[in-house]
Copies of this chain bind each other. A is one copy, B any other.
Amino acid sequence: MTPDRLAAMLTQVQQGALPVEQALERLKHLPFEDLGFARIDHHRTLRKGFSEVIWGPGKTSQQIAAIAARLVENGQPALITRLDENKAQEIKISLPALVYYAEARIGALGERPASRTDLPVLVIAAGTADIPVAEEAALSAEWLGNTVERLYDVGVAGLHRLFDSLDRLRAASVLIVVAGMEGALPSVIGGLVDRPIIAVPTSIGYGASFGGVAALLAMLNSCAAGVTVVNIDNGFGAAAAATLINRPDDEQANKG
């Protein structure tokens, strides 16, 4: 319900084309759909540039399937994050078209959107154990309409593995850097490139890593300018932010 549409509607009221009661109703009922346990925000694509994504935990398979089905019926792709394998199997019974990416723990339904721009989002994982979170970021970014590249196992204890790919680092539009343990990789990369870096701490580690807190704090305290941070293991959040940053020139131009 943008100001433009509000003005248009008020004009209709003034012209008698729209009764007061209906206008009032319309103002109150913005486009969401109430399933009882969930209110689907069909309006979100318009407002945010991408449709509502379903966060799996704490929802039953039935609830997830119902929400996903309604999204698909409205012509939107349905992406489900943090979906464990058992729930995915159960959902497939009613929605056999569901594709399940086990490593990334993502379920997807519908058509994957085309890339809006060729500028790549580069997803980097410090270690092999960080790959599941990196894949959550990479797959999400692809489904949100980005061209995605991957660069894995380039941790700071062997920097030449990173330097080998310096040109790929510098060609990216946005970098998503996924790291656990001491979380130093975004700081190192932040010193090398002039593109925005979204740092994703992972819960990989043990003892005083405190489930990713060590990496999170390191990233928040990065001495390299241009690094911002999302929650521990939040690959999807990084992808969503990268999508908003990585927009095609014409979209940006229209905006201004």
Q: Is A114 an interface residue (CB 8 A)?
A: no
Contact A119:B255 (CB < 8 A) given known A155-B223, A198-B228, A240-B225 = yes
Complex contacts, A11 vs chain B, CB 8 Å: 20
Partner of A228, one of B36, B204, B229: B229
A128 and B63 form a contact (CB under 8 A): yes
Complex contacts, A253 vs chain B, CB 8 Å: 249
Residues of A within 8 Å of B, CB-based: how many? 123
Residues from 196 to 245 in A contacting B, C-beta threshold 8 Å: 196, 198, 201, 203-234, 236-238, 240-241, 243-245
A223 and B59 form a contact (CB under 8 A): no
9-residue interface stretch from A69-77, A83-91, A161-169: A161-169
Which B-chain residue is minimally distant from A55 (CB atoms)? B129
Q: How far is the CA of A128 from the CA of B65 in the complex (A)?
A: 13
What is the 8 Å Cβ interface bit string for chain A, positions 123-148, against chain B (1 contact, 0 not)? 00011111110000000000000000
Which B-chain residue is minimally distant from A37 (CB atoms)? B128
B232 and A207 form a contact (CB under 8 A): yes
Q: Is A97 an interface residue (CB 8 A)?
A: no
Partner of A237, one of B28, B215, B225: B225
What is the 8 Å Cβ interface bit string for chain A, positions 151-181, against chain B (1 contact, 0 not)? 0111111111101101100110100000001
Partner of A244, one of B164, B182, B195, B238: B195
Residues from 77 to 121 in A contacting B, C-beta threshold 8 Å: 82, 118-119
A127 and B223 form a contact (CB under 8 A): yes
Contacts A/B (CB < 8 Å), 30 sampled: A2-B170, A3-B166, A14-B16, A14-B20, A30-B160, A30-B163, A32-B160, A32-B164, A39-B152, A53-B225, A58-B128, A119-B255, A119-B256, A155-B223, A156-B191, A156-B223, A156-B224, A159-B188, A183-B221, A196-B241, A201-B207, A207-B232, A209-B217, A214-B214, A214-B221, A217-B218, A225-B236, A227-B237, A228-B237, A228-B241
